[in-house]
């Protein structure tokens, strides 16, 4: 199992990263708890060797990015910060998509200020806006890249067809995609294969299935054999399943963080992988 991925074909990141959504309150709205507790989790993630932190403008909104800067700035030289724009958070579990060039640019520049950096390592469109031509949305990312404000561009919640269109436009190199993907939900298999062919990182969101997959008896049995938790097996499966998968599980507690990161040490055998492969509800 390969532990690192070359983002953009040149920037190494450890494949098991950390996502910041759980640093905010229910529905990604407001704070989860005391800022000191949340920054402690971020600092511990980096102490454990995490080199990919995934955040977003609308987590909070703004709160997650601010916590990243408070906890980790000045950033270690090998730390890659990924953030997202193009979605406006309007309340708990409510948001609207806005991919207009002026909006995306303003969001990116605000993220630069909150993250206290001159360049964002990986800037991703949180959703594609169906009301805005794809060329306009990607063109904005290309402009931001040309200006040195972002290093790499990515897309969130897209289809294989979307990615194919983006690659064909060839306006800006696509370094990553983020889609829902986990042990039980593999609806994005076609997209994953496309990422593998083009050297694009696939950052699966809900890598633990929002807790559902930990109830699976096969997963639980394999976990017992490794003296691990079902969640650790689910993360280990992702790391074994494809070298393009770079899960960034999120949590707001130190204990859960340690559990998630320990999954990187789990080595699954061929028979175990075959059993876990057979669990997919997506066919």
Catalytic residues: 59
Distance CA 147, CA 75 (A): 21
CB 178 within 8 A of CB 156: yes
CA distance 15 to 3: 6
Kindly give, in sequence order, each residue whose CB lies less than 8 Å from that of residue 81, ignoring residues fewer than 6 positions away.
53, 55, 68, 75, 115, 117, 120, 121, 122
Q: Token pair for residue 49? A: 């060797």
Tokens of 136: 């306009």
Of the candidates 25, 89, 21, 99, the one whose C-alpha atom is nearest the C-alpha of residue 61 is: 89
124 and 84 Cβ atoms separated by less than 8 Å? yes
The sign of the torsion formed by the CA atoms of 250, 256, 261, 267 equals: negative
3-state secondary structure 117-130: CCCEEEEEECCCCC
Under a CB-based contact definition with an 8 Å cutoff, are residues 176 and 7 in contact?
yes
Q: What is the number of residues in the chain?
A: 283
Pairing of strands 87-91, 80-85: unpaired
């Amino acid at each position: 199992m390969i532990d690192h991925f070359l983002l953009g074909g040149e920037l190494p990141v450890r494949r098991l990263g950390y996502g910041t959504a759980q640093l905010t309150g229910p529905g990604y709205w407001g704070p989860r708890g005391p800022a000191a507790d949340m920054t402690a989790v971020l600092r511990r993630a980096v102490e454990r060797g995490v080199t990919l932190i995934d955040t977003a403008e609308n987590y909070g909104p703004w709160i997650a990015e601010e916590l990243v800067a408070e906890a980790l700035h000045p950033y270690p030289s090998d730390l890659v910060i990924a953030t997202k724009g193009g979605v406006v958070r309007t309340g708990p579990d409510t948001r609207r998509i806005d991919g207009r060039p002026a909006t995306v640019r303003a969001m990116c520049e605000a993220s630069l200020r909150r993250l206290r950096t001159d360049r964002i390592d990986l800037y991703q469109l949180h959703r594609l806006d169906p009301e805005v031509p794809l060329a306009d949305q990607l063109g904005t990312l290309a402009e931001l890249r040309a200006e040195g404000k972002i290093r790499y561009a990515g897309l969130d919640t897209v289809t294989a067809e979307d990615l194919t269109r983006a690659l064909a436009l060839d306006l800006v190199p696509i370094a990553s995609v983020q889609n829902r993907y986990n042990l039980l939900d593999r609806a994005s298999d076609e997209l994953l294969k496309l990422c593998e062919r083009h050297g694009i990182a696939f950052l699966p969101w809900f890598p633990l299935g929002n807790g559902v997959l930990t109830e699976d008896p096969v997963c639980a049995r394999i976990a017992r054999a490794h003296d691990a938790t079902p969640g650790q097996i689910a993360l280990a499966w992702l790391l074994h399943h494809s070298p393009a998968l770079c899960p960034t599980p999120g949590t707001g507690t130190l204990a859960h963080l340690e559990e998630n990161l320990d999954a990187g040490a789990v080595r699954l055998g061929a028979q175990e992988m075959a059993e876990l492969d057979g669990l997919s509800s997506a066919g």
